[in-house]
Structure 1
Amino acid sequence: MNTCDYTRDNMADLLRQHGINPTHQRIEIAFALFSHQEHLCADQVMAIVNAKHSETSKATVYNTLNLFQEKKMIREVIVDPSKVFYDPNTHLHHHFYNVATGELTDIDVDDIGLTGLPQLPPGLVTEGVDIIVRVRPTA
């Protein structure tokens, strides 16, 4: 699906494909994430959902985002301990984080060269590498 294909109807199908029961609130949260195709924090998701349906609680939003992450529908991007974004793009990529504006944008995986990783402790495998390049305007 591309961005113009996202509807509430196919959000239910997307949830089912990931083994998630498509409740009304889950559909609205998925639609907020996927139709915007932006990096949103939980408060932004809640504001979008509640602009249309004011019955969704903060706990429901967080629980649903955690479920979506567990089912690999979205990625959690932690830019600092107090700022977490939810990214509907689950393909391999990295991010720029503008510390002045709070904006998170994608970096194509081919735009960053990684020459190697350290030796892993015994019994562990690499699950992924997330690179966040923090930027700010020049003074």
Structure 2
Amino acid sequence: MEHQVLQRGSDWLDGAGLRPTRQRLTLAALLVGDGKNRHVTAESLFAKVKEQGESVSLATVYNTLRAFCDVGLLQEVTVDGTRSYFDTNTHDHPHFYWENDGTLTDAPANELQIVQLPEAPEGTEIASVEVVIRLRPKA
């Protein structure tokens, strides 16, 4: 990997106070090294690691993605309760889920209007609202 890509990954980890282990740095560089936001699954990131010729187990990828979420570097988006995507854009925003190929992309936040939410049950508060808009080709 080129120096600038690794440096972006290292800076990203440093900003969250995470020690840059070899595995974390490899994954961070793949996630943010080009400066673009992305949505990945653990499996797709694992495949990319293998493609780069790196040696990281799938369990390490899962654990590292969870650690990145825990410190606020990633946002986890669950689709159908069966598949988790990890988003490098941690600001509140809606998503499109493309059923035909199983990908997740950002949807335009400025076009979404949530007029009213139900009141939270007594003793609770709303922590967040996730909007996933499922898309498929017209029949």
Q: TM-score, normalised by structure 1?
A: 0.89
> What are the within-5 Å matches in structure 2 for residues 13-92 of structure 1?
13-34=11-32, 35=34, 37-92=37-92
Select between 85-94 and 117-126 the one with higher mean Cα deviation: 117-126
Deviation at 1:21, TM superposition (A): 0.8
The answer to whether the Cα contact below 8 Å between 2:8 and 2:29 also exists between their aligned partners in 1 is no
SS of alignment partner, residue 107 of structure 2: strand
**Alignment partner, residue 9 of structure 2:** 11
- 2-side partners of 1:53 and 1:63: how far apart? 20
**Alignment partner, residue 103 of structure 1:** 103
Question: C-alpha deviations, 1:49-107, integer Å up to 9, x for none?
Answer: 12223310011000000000011101111112322111101112101111112121111
List runs of 5+ in structure 1 lacking aligned partners: 1-5
- 2-side partners of 1:17 and 1:98: how far apart? 32
One-letter amino acid of the structure 2 residue matched with residue 118 of structure 1: P
Q: TM-score, normalised by structure 2?
A: 0.89
Identical residues among aligned pairs (%) = 35
- 2-side partners of 1:53 and 1:24: how far apart? 13
The aligned length equals 134
- 1-side partners of 2:63 and 2:53: how far apart? 17
> What are the within-5 Å matches in structure 2 for residues 102-121 of structure 1?
102-121=102-121
The answer to whether the Cα contact below 8 Å between 2:10 and 2:29 also exists between their aligned partners in 1 is no
Deviation at 1:31, TM superposition (A): 1.5
- 2-side partners of 1:10 and 1:109: how far apart? 26
